[in-house]
């Protein structure tokens, strides 16, 4: 029965790994969506050797241990094979090395099956074996090497072969503790005499590891030591004291050891330095998020973006390509392995083998919890390996030895299980390991499903840029379907081209280093094909290719002919211009200067980030400027005409431009006279002004499919109107209310998306129109601000700010205009009213005539 169960389970493992290998082979063709690419074949070397190794192990275990646990070998085989194929997929050179280590481990395992089942040599020579392990570890202080070149020198090596003594030292420590505690417990029941000899040797091992800065292994030693003492004594104070010692060690290390401080800091808040010291953990979380529920598919993710993915972060690599379902299955395999190990411990024929089996199980469980917890940011990064899965010959051999000892202990069925006077500590250990794995599963789901969508939108996620090279991104078009931003090239080499660079502060960019900005960021779900496509198509492409379907084109409300006029007129000046349809809120022109060329981000990106003129800033929607006297037209419209004070006979202060005669409140407001703001503001009750500001949209950011900045609203807005700062976009929407019969429209920039099934689908505005004034009052005010024989009204304002003078120009069509009602707002970061009027008239002239 044992042989049949083990054989069938090994066959299932072989079937899974063969299917996995086939998918890895075909992955390049799937990614490129073409058969005209080199396929991946090298990992089949590892699979063939895996089949041979575990076929031999199966035969030899049935020969020497016919009554052994039939689940341990298949579990270890599946984990080893899964890890081996993952290492081959990540780094073929390391995959070949891991394959050779698998051969060595299998050979040692087969030879070890001939050892006596009582493992008496471990008990008799406990001091000698532990001393040898300590000696080899101490040798690394003098002869230590690091295969990677830099970092702690934890390996002994020669001729390209390296061995890490601290790995088998874990097993030697467990064997020593199990033997010593089994021998002493019947005699010494007091805790300190029991602890002293073990503390001495364990402390020596810890000292060696701390000197070598092998903090992960040192943490495992402390935990294993505490577990072994607790299992042998049953005293819960051991766990409490050990937890306190570990916490104290972390605190001391945080203040005294730079490495510990760095790891704790990056654990507590990795988002502070995501591209520096926290790069590993941030990329690990992004890989898990990128995997989502189903994963990108074997060979189709980008796990190599995570440093040391083949070793410390192999869990993140598996998560990216197999998703939450794959990693939950992996955690389930580990849980099953630990449960079989605890079963063997409980059924062991003597106290020594019971303690040893429980210790080996704790070693496999604790190390798995530490490394996976580090990948999931549940724990600080420890730098240890994941048993059976991670790259590393020393780790793989140690895992095989632990498996061998468990099989030998469980295979001795001729003796009855030894009495277990205190089963509770074993139940506690099982519960703690189960709770740990359950917590890992919850954290895995949190990062993969709950936080995943938000994480993937981060600008430091290079996987989006990689996907853009293989899937065409949708185009941004103007209202006449003239291309603005497009994707050109072939699969694997798609490139984003920006055909109208002056629009870069608005349309933005998508870049592998600088992330996304502007409309490229806010419309990314449509442009990337994740929204607007049928859900079945999205699911199928994700399942088959690990990528989204082709992106969708988006039509904007911009008119490139008018946009060109505005950009040409603004060249050489800092400022912004907004022209919109006052009736429906469609933005016809949105210009921001200075601008930049997103096609040259590779060469100019660093300079642009530090450019004092802020060319990356969309001044039209994200710039904030004091409203000052530009608020006067709206105060005039809100005032009761009968309650207005008399117009002064003369001008008490200069205005921005010459005031038209005769003097009226309308002509004073149109000329930007500062005292008009003060007088009109004083004539209105404070609550009326507050309501007006709210209805004008000056107290909240407008809802638009574009990054917008909220206004700067002083705490006492009525008493500090001069400190209120809004964007030109907000001012344009407010100005539109004067030209649209008193109604402030909801802004629109993205008009429609071209879907595969329904064609062009309208994108509704995100906001709602807001009534601000009565139609009659709005009409009367704009008529009073209209220049002679012109079909539009205007108001020109000059204000001062800390950065320098500022010119506002507000304009819009009159109620008598028979065409499309328009509103225009221009802001210049200089004092030049003549230039402001020239620029505005240049844009308005094609629409309104000379």
pLDDT single digits (tens) 359-403: 999 999 999 999 999 999 998 888 788 999 999 889 999 999 999
Indicate if 535 and 505 belong to the same structural domain. Answer: yes
- Residue that the structure tokens 């064609």 belong to: 759
Domain of residue 385: give its range: 2-456
Residue 189 falls inside a structural domain: yes
For residue 458, CA distances in Å to 76, 323, 461, 621 come to 37, 19, 6, 21
Structure tokens at 459: 């600008």
Residue with tokens 């996304």: 516
> How many angstroms separate the CA atoms of 233 and 189, rounded?
8
Domain final residue, candidates 456, 482, 509: 456
* Residues 616, 530 within the same domain: no
Distances, alpha carbon 385 to alpha carbons 92, 105, 153, 285, 369, in Å: 19, 16, 16, 18, 11
Beta carbons of 376 and 438 less than 8 angstroms apart:
no
Is the domain of 473 the same as that of 388? no
What CATH code is carried by the domain that includes residue 596? 3.40.710.10
Among residues 237, 427, 246, 238, the alpha carbon closest in space to that of 339 is found at 427
How many Cα atoms sit within 13 Å of 234 on the Cβ side? 8
How far apart, in Å, do the first and last CA atoms of the chain sit?
97
Which of 502, 528, 556 is the last residue in one of the domains? 556
Q: Are 795 and 630 in contact (CB under 8 A)?
A: yes
Question: Dihedral through CA 246, CA 252, CA 258, CA 262, nearest 10?
Answer: 50
Q: What is the dihedral of CA 165, 166, 169, 171, to 10 degrees?
A: -110
Flag residues of the chain having pLDDT under 50: 187
Residue matched to tokens 């190990």: 341
Helix (H) / strand (E) containing 694? helix 686-696
Number of domains present in the structure of the chain: 3
Question: Are residues 669 and 800 located together in one domain of the fold?
Answer: yes
> In whole angstroms, what is the distance from residue 844 CA to residue 811 CA?
9
Do 35 and 163 lie in one domain? The reply is yes
- Residue 843 φ then ψ, to 5°: -80, -35
Instruction: Please give the full DSSP string across 598-641, using - where no structure is assigned.
Output: GGGHHHHHHHHHH-TT-TTS-HHHH--EE-GGGGHHHHHHHS-G
Q: Is residue 562 part of a domain?
A: no
**561, part of any domain:** no
Q: 204 in a domain, yes or no?
A: yes
What is the predicted pLDDT for the residue at 211? 59
Q: Do both 25 and 128 map to the same domain? A: yes
Task: Return d(Cα 623, Cα 576) in angstroms, integer.
Answer: 9
Question: Strands 575-581 and 587-593, how do they pair?
Answer: antiparallel
φ, ψ for residue 315, nearest 5 deg:
-65, -40
CA distance 75 to 61: 14
The verdict on 307 and 449 lying in the same domain is yes
Asked whether residue 763 is assigned to any structural domain, the reply reads no
753 falls within a domain? no
d(CA 587, CA 556): 9
pLDDT in tens, 511-529: 888 888 999 999 999 999 9
pTM: 0.81
Whether residue 601 is contained in a domain is answered as: yes
Structure tokens at 563: 């946009």
In sequence order, which residues have a C-beta less than 8 Å from that of residue 623 and are 6 or more positions away?
576, 592, 617, 709, 727, 728, 827
Say how far apart CA 567 and CA 575 lie, in whole Å. Answer: 10
Cα–Cα distance for residue pair 717/326, rounded to 1 Å: 56
Residues 498 and 629 in one domain: no
Residue 145 is classified by DSSP as: B
CA–CA gap between residue 171 and residue 407 (Å, rounded): 15
Q: Among 456, 479, 501, where does a domain finish?
A: 456
- What was the pLDDT predicted at 419? 84
672 CB neighbour count, 10 Å cutoff: 28
Q: Which two tokens stand for residue 387?
A: 């048993």
CATH of the domain at 513: 3.90.1310.10
Residue 157: its H or E element: strand 156-158
Judgement on whether residues 621 and 536 belong to the same structural domain of the protein: no
Residue with tokens 């003597």: 350
Report the SS3 class of residue 114. coil
Find, among 572, 230, 671, the residue nearest to 427 by Cα. Answer: 230
Angle between helices 72-90 and 314-346 (to 10 degrees): 170
Measured in whole angstroms, the distance separating CA 161 from the mean position of its chain's CA atoms is: 37
Q: Do 796 and 722 lie in a common domain?
A: yes
User: Which residue matches tokens 């595969």?
Assistant: 756
CA distance 559 to 400: 69
Give tens-digit pLDDT for 617-657.
999 999 999 988 888 898 888 886 666 777 776 666 788 78
Q: How many residues does the chain have?
A: 850
Determine if the peptide bond prior to 806 is cis (ω within 30°): no
Per the rule left: phi > 0, alpha: psi between -120 and 50, beta: everything else, 791 is: alpha
Q: Does 467 map to a domain?
A: yes
Distance CA 575, CA 829 (A): 6
pLDDT per residue as tens digits for the range 725-766 = 999 999 999 999 999 999 999 999 999 999 999 999 999 999
Is residue 511 located within the same domain as residue 405? no
Question: 415 and 468: one domain?
Answer: no
């Amino acid at each position: 029965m044992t042989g049949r169960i083990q054989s069938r389970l090994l066959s299932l493992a072989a079937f899974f790994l063969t299917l996995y290998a086939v998918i890895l082979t075909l992955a390049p063709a799937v990614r490129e969506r073409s058969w005209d690419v080199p396929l991946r074949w090298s990992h089949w070397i590892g699979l063939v050797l895996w089949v041979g190794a575990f076929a031999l192990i199966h035969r030899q275990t049935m020969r020497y241990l016919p009554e052994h646990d039939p689940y341990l070998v298949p579990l270890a085989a599946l984990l080893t094979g899964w890890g081996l194929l993952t290492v081959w997929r990540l780094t073929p050179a390391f995959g070949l090395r891991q394959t050779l280590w698998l051969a060595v481990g299998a050979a040692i395992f087969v030879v070890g099956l001939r050892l006596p089942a009582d493992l008496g040599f471990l008990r008799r020579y406990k001091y000698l074996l532990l001393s040898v392990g300590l000696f080899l570890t101490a040798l690394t202080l003098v002869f230590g090497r690091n295969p990677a070149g830099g970092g702690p020198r934890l390996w002994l090596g020669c001729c390209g072969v390296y061995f890490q003594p601290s790995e088998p030292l874990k097993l030697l420590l467990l064997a020593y503790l199990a033997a010593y505690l089994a021998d002493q417990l019947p005699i010494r029941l007091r805790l300190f005499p029991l602890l002293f000899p073990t503390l001495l040797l364990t402390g020596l091992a810890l000292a060696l590891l701390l000197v070598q800065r092998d903090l992960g292994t040192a943490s495992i030693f402390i935990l294993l030591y505490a577990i072994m003492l607790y299992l042998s004594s049953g005293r819960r104070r051991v766990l409490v004291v050990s937890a306190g010692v570990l916490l104290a060690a972390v605190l001391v290390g945080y203040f005294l050891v730079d490495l510990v401080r760095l790891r704790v800091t990056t654990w507590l808040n990795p988002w502070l330095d995501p591209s520096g010291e926290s790069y590993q953990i941030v990329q690990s979380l992004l890989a898990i998020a990128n995997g989502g529920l189903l994963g990108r598919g074997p060979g189709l993710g980008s796990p190599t973006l995570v440093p040391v993915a083949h070793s410390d972060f192999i869990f993140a690599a598996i998560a990216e390509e197999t998703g939450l379902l794959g990693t939950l299955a992996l955690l389930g395999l580990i849980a099953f392995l630990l449960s079989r190990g605890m079963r063997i411990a409980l059924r062991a024929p003597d106290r020594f083998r019971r303690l040893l089996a429980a210790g080996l199980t704790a070693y496999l469980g604790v190390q798995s919890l530490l490394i996976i917890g580090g990948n999931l940011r549940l724990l600080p990064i420890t730098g240890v390996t994941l048993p059976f899965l991670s790259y590393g010959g020393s780790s793989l051999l140690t895992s095989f030895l632990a498996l061998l000892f468990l099989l030998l202990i469980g295979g001795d069925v001729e003796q009855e299980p030894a009495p277990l006077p205190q089963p509770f500590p074993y139940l506690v250990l099982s519960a703690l390991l189960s709770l740990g794995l359950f917590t890992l599963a919850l954290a895995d789901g949190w990062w993969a499903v709950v936080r995943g969508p938000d994480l993937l939108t981060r600008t430091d996620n290079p996987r989006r840029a990689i996907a853009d090279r293989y899937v065409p991104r949708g185009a941004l078009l103007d209202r006449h379907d003239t291309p603005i931003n497009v994707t050109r090239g072939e699969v694997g080499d798609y490139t984003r081209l920006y055909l109208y660079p002056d629009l870069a502060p608005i349309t933005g960019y998508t870049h592998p280093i600088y992330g996304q900005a502007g409309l490229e960021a806010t419309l990314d779900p449509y442009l990337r094909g994740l929204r607007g496509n049928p859900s079945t198509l999205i699911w199928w492409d994700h399942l088959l290719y690990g990528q989204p379907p082709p992106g969708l084109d988006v039509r904007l409300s911009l008119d490139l002919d008018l946009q060109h006029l505005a950009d040409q007129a603004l060249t050489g000046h800092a400022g912004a211009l907004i022209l919109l349809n006052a009736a429906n809120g469609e933005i016809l022109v949105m210009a921001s200067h200075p601008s930049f060329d997103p096609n040259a981000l590779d060469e100019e990106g660093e300079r642009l980030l530090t450019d004092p003129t802020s060319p990356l800033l969309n001044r039209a929607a994200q710039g904030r400027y004091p409203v000052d006297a530009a608020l006067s037209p709206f105060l005039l419209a809100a005032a009761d005409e009968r309650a207005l004070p008399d117009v002064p006979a003369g001008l008490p202060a200069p205005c921005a431009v010459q005031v038209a005669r005769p003097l009226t409140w309308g002509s004073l407001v149109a000329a930007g006279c500062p005292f008009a703001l003060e007088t009109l503001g004083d004539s209105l009750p404070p609550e009326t002004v507050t309501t007006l500001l709210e209805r004008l949209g000056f107290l909240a950011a407008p809802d638009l499919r574009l990054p917008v900045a909220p206004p700067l609203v002083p705490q006492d807005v009525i008493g500090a109107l001069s400190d209120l700062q809004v964007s030109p976009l907000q001012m344009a929407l407010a100005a539109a209310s004067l030209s649209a019969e008193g109604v402030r429209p909801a802004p629109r920039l993205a008009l429609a998306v071209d879907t595969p099934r329904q064609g062009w689908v309208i994108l509704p505005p995100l906001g709602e129109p807001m009534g601000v004034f009565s139609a009659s009052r709005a009409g009367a005010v704009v008529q009073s601000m209209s220049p002679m024989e012109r079909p539009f009204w205007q108001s020109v304002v000059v204000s001062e700010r800390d950065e320098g003078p500022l010119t506002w120009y507000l304009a819009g069509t009159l109620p008598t205009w028979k065409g499309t009602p328009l509103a225009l707002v221009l802001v210049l970061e200089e004092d030049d009213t003549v230039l402001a009027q020239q620029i505005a008239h240049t844009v308005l002239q094609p629409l309104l005539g000379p």
